[in-house]
Chains A and B, each alone.
Chain A
């Protein structure tokens, strides 16, 4: 029987929640890396027991952790698992993220726009998102703050920037959103290994069609009233993008405000907020088997990061947007003032698609019936930063 493994990153550690295919009863493992901020935990689609973790701290900086046994044991890539490292020169630099400033591989791009409009040097802060390759468990991409994308081809032991993204020319116009200038979304196209999408707050969405060498902004159709030029090529605060692997040319975006859809791989976007009570929010995801079924969780506003009316509602559209229905069964419908952050929703690929999300109040909710009803798996974790799901055979 299939199993489901939910990988949860929180402000104070990682948690692994497992259940059988019924998704009624859950085992909770954790905290792993207790006390550290875990921005993201994600497993390899090729080898589900290979799990990558972004472990970070304001005191001690960035670490990368890896498990090769489904989360039972962990190692910093390049150090032996379960025992102190052998004395001597380090065998890897798994937490070394150095921006490429060489003239050979990219432009010596050194500044971006700061909050006050002045130029500011790029400074590495943390890894927001880890995206394992679709066909090689040793290849993994990292989206970082300040915004850039790195790739490791040796299981996370060493990282190299794909500098064509920062070097393509618009970098000096990127600026930090309220959460920092983070590259938070990485989507790999299963039908085209050379195509990849990323999103940055606050710069927008970008696409490469040559495996990461060259990038272009794909923000036509976005309208952001909070920037000097609302339809600018870059500068938009994109919160998250989702894609169903079965329909890779169709993208859904939760922007700072506005829910958007592109039917042409991001070349053009149109708003599909429709009847949502508010089109501000962070998460967005697509049903595993129905590419036209989309989920968002509306948040009241950029100044009030909690659900409108104190009611935690997932909204589902079965028509690729515009027409939305509120899903409330099992979710608190009064006095609820949590937030759901951008990487904190995921879907499994069981026959009846499961949907999961985590809140800043520490709840992880699961629906085993595509959103019709919900139950909390856990209620009292630290604030949830990210949720990913693995469907295991």
Chain B
């Protein structure tokens, strides 16, 4: 079971209170986790990555195991501790604006 922590606004949108837990089949990558997240919570489509280009929105970052994974390939395997559910994948909004 993969754990994902969403930023507060997206938790509200998805109507979830805490961490999201997802079953991901196959290799655990940013893409496969986001695919599973959007399948479970379709209202999040387009809010984390662009509908068409599938690129991460510029003011969002992906962290796990105290590392910034934002610029990793979306198809690169996520750390084993994320794949095992020990550590969450954190989707974080940049601190910007007012």
Asked if B25 is at the interface of the complex by the 8 Å CB criterion, the answer is no
Q: Mark B46-57, 1 if CB is under 8 A from A, else 0.
A: 111011100001
A-B contact count (CB 8 A): 65
Bound form: Cα–Cα A87–B4 in Å: 16
Give the distance in Å from the alpha carbon of A58 to the alpha carbon of B9 in the complex: 12
Cβ-defined contact, A61 with B47, below 8 A: yes
Q: Are B9 and A95 within 8 A (Cβ)?
A: no
Q: Does the CB pair B14–A59 fall under 8 Å?
A: no
Tell me whether A47 is interfacial, beta carbon within 8 Å. no
Main secondary structure of the interface of B (DSSP, over half): loop
Q: Is the Cβ of A90 less than 8 Å from the Cβ of B9? A: no
Contact in complex: B9, A96 (CB < 8 Å): no
Q: Are B46 and A59 in contact (CB under 8 A)?
A: no
- A58-B59, A59-B57, A63-B47 known; A90 vs B38 contact (CB < 8 Å): yes
CB distance from A284 to the nearest CB of B (A): 29
**With A85-B43, A93-B45 as contacts: A59 and B7 at CB distance below 8 Å:** yes
A80 to chain B, nearest CB (A): 10
**Contact between B41 and A84, CB atoms less than 8 A apart:** yes
Instruction: Confirm or deny: A57 has a beta carbon within 8 angstroms of a beta carbon on chain B.
Output: yes
Q: A76 near B46 (CB under 8 angstroms)?
A: no
- Which of B9, B39, B52, B97 contacts A36 (CB under 8 A)? B9
What residues of chain A lie closer than 8 Å to B15, measured between beta carbons? 83-84
Residues in A whose Cβ lies below 8 Å from that of B97: 58
**Closest CB-CB distance, B83 to chain A, in whole Å?**
21
Which A residues fall within an 8 A CB radius of B?
35-36, 57-63, 76, 78-79, 83-85, 87-91, 93, 95-96, 98
Q: Which residues of B contact A (CB under 8 A)?
A: 7, 9-10, 13-16, 38-43, 45-48, 50-52, 57, 59-60, 93-94, 96-97
